[in-house]
Amino acid sequence: MKFSVCIKQVPDVSAPISIKDGTLTQDSDRMVLDAYSASAVEEALVLIDKHGGEVQVVLVGPEKAKETIRKALAMGAASGVHIVVDDVSGLDSGAYAEILAAWHKKSDYDIILTGKQSQDTDAGLTGGMLAWKLELPYAANAVGLTYDNEGGKLTVTRQGDSGQEMIELTSPCLVTCSNDMNEPRIPSLKGIMQSKRKKVETLQLGDLGLDPDTLSSKTSKTKGQGYKEVPGREPGKKLEGDPEELVTELVGLLENEAKVL
Amino acid sequence: MSKILVHIATSEGKIKRSSLEVMSYCKTLADKNSMTLEAVVLDPDPAKYTDQLNTYGPDKVYQVKHPIFKNHLNAAVIEALSKVIDQSGPRLCAFASTESAKEVIGALAARHDAAAIPDVAGFTINNGSVDAERPVMAAKVLSKTSSSSELVLVSVRSGSYDLAENPGNAETVAVDFDFDESGLRAVLKEVLSSAGDKVDLSEAEVVVAAGRGIKDENGRKLVEELAETLGAAIGASRAVTESGLFPATLQIGQTGKVVSPQLYFAIGISGAIQHVAGMANSKVIVAINKDPDAPIFQYATYGLVGDLFKILPPLTEELRKIKGA
């Protein structure tokens, strides 16, 4: 069983950020492995531990993103593919999906895993777009995966709107992973040492028959127009005192001022 | 005339409030831009929603009737919506940002060579461009995103727009839809509903949400008693679902569910930005926290500084008297 896990390098979203003239500035320029991607890598590793096989990770991003591929290799992935795009700022989900589709059309895989969204944009489009372009059955927002070796069937538990849905996919197929499905492992020292000897294939967009200008001007159908602050809420009332008083005051306000009881 | 097509999400025989919010706003948008407003319902019995839909003034309602829509299966939803998109030829197709919509919007966009802008906090149409704002970077900022594509798909976070009735009388169109499941490589085996789903969290009018401050089983019980008294849905912060006190399905926040009830109780929740992103559209927010500097107080309509273990029992008692009366 061969897993192809699409991973992304993202800014550390926990670092403070500010906006100036519509442009985003982060206090730290630290880039990390996207948390949803990490859950996808972890889940693939757990499944091959049980059923055999190997995990390859695929990343679209600048030269610097190679360190993120190394991180996934240190977790236990066998090999990496780095599709080098120096400036990803003009690419939307559609362009990422186009690039990943071009790669997968010429590669072997049984199951493609992606994050259900990525921490920087929270869009969650690429997985479904990629599945469509590759004509694969898919399920999104998976919180659990089990594999049946004999039938080549993957059972996905996904978080739906009312409860969880269990969907049986026939491979080849695609699943997008929630960060609720597992706790990604921290690479061991041995894993880190081994990762340095693992193979990372480097490709340019031209190798996939793609043109960077077309990807940003035509394939990307949405354009970023800058950033703005999230609007705040009107300041409320802060109540202090002993519990009985607080309760009386709150219930009065809910009944008479907010009128929500 | 160009068109706006709104997908209508239903649950247990009712149109979801979040879909009605999208309808309400799109009606205004359609009138302002001289566009036609159309709606599409996929359901085993789509006709039963027509009266309710007419309250929101669509010009036309596409009804796609099939038993498969009893549950969500992405292949069937994509097939049906594609057919209606081809038939209607909308400029804009709007969804409520439900898990079901989120699962299909990317594939639909790829299939129709359309733009997709998911999970928006707001959007409008300016000179043929669809301009939207959506939270990014762990919901710390809003990204302004626009598209001039011939077809743009947008999904809207719940609570972004108010309900506004606008009665009309829509033309209804029954759409022929055959769906052959036999060749499908994705089969829905089972739907598991968890105990916490008694009240649909994303549609609830009142939500009682628990954070790290509830500590243990005892705290959980106090939260459950308050929720039961109010007929509220229970939610939780990520810290609490990770600890196992509440199931992950109840997580509210940027990576969980987005809720927009009339009344939201944040019990022992500090108010990390990722959590706030999932509840900031609530109308009235009550926060109970012993740390007077907790960030949640910046969002609270009424902030109670104190020990939740001492406040919740008399609060539940007091509310029980009111609700029982």
Cα separations (Å) of B319 from A112, A245, A254, B232?
51, 14, 10, 12
Q: How far apart are the first and last CA of chain A?
A: 56
pLDDT category at B269 given cuts 50, 70, 90 is very high
As a whole number of angstroms, the distance between CA B58 and CA B31 comes to 11
Long-range contacts of B296-301 (CB under 8 A, 24+ apart): B296/B266, B296/B269, B296/B270, B296/B271, B297/A236, B297/A238, B297/B271, B298/A232, B298/A233, B298/A235, B298/B271, B299/A233, B299/A236, B299/B271, B300/A236, B300/A238, B300/B266, B301/A233, B301/A236, B301/A237, B301/A258
What is the distance in angstroms between the Cα of B12 and the nearest Cα belonging to chain A? 10
Give me the count of residues in chain A.
261
Residue B25: predicted pLDDT: 98
Buried b (16+ CB within 10 A) or exposed e, B225-256: bbbebbebbbbbbbbbbeeebbbbbbbbbbbb
Instruction: Supply the DSSP symbol for B9.
Output: -
Show the tokens assigned to B51.
Answer: 């009266």
- Closest CB from A226, A236, A244 relative to B144: A226
Residue B1: predicted pLDDT: 62
Closest C-alpha among A185, A222, A205 to residue A73: A185
With an 8 Å Cβ cutoff, is B11 touching chain A?
yes
Taking a C-beta distance cutoff of 8 angstroms, is the pair A136, A100 a contact?
no
**Domains within chain B, CATH numbers bracketed:** 3-175 (3.40.50.620), 195-324 (3.40.50.1220)
Contact check, Cβ <8 Å, B304/A239: yes
For B28-60, the pLDDT digits (tens) are 999 999 999 999 999 999 999 999 999 999 999
Contact check, Cβ <8 Å, B144/A224: yes
Contacts of B74 (CB under 8 A, 6+ apart): A128, A138, A139, A140, B103, B104, B107, B186
As a whole number of angstroms, the distance between CA A81 and CA A203 comes to 8
User: Quick check: B235 pLDDT over 90?
Assistant: yes
Residue B325: predicted pLDDT: 62
Position B201, amino acid: L
As a whole number of angstroms, the distance between CA B250 and CA B315 comes to 23
User: Quick check: B196 pLDDT over 60?
Assistant: no
Residue of A21, A25, A99, A162 for testing the chain B interface, max B β-carbons within 10 Å? A162
Q: CA B98, B223, B97: angle at the middle one, nearest 5?
A: 5
Q: Read off φ and ψ for residue A233, nearest 5 degrees.
A: -100, 160
Q: Read off φ and ψ for residue B158, nearest 5 degrees.
A: -65, 145
Contact check, Cβ <8 Å, A97/B184: no
Position B105, amino acid: I
Contact check, Cβ <8 Å, A163/B197: yes
Interhelix angle B99-112/A93-105, nearest 10 degrees? 70
pLDDT category at B194 given cuts 50, 70, 90 is low
DSSP-assigned letters across all residues of B142-162: EEEEEE--SSEEEEE-TTSS-
Residue B247: predicted pLDDT: 87
Show the tokens assigned to B241.
Answer: 């679902």
Contact check, Cβ <8 Å, A141/B311: no
**Domains within chain A, CATH numbers bracketed:** 2-219 (3.40.50.620)
Contact check, Cβ <8 Å, A260/B251: no
Segments in chain A below pLDDT 50: none
Residue of A119, A230, A249, A261 for testing the chain B interface, max B β-carbons within 10 Å? A230
ipTM summary value? 0.95
* Cα Rg, chain B, nearest whole Å: 21
User: Quick check: B195 pLDDT over 60?
Assistant: no
- Closest CB from B75, B135, B140 relative to A17: B140
Residue B193: predicted pLDDT: 74
Q: Which residue has the tokens 């096989």?
A: A53
Taking a C-beta distance cutoff of 8 angstroms, is the pair A247, B229 a contact?
no
Taking a C-beta distance cutoff of 8 angstroms, is the pair A120, A10 a contact?
yes
pLDDT category at B198 given cuts 50, 70, 90 is low
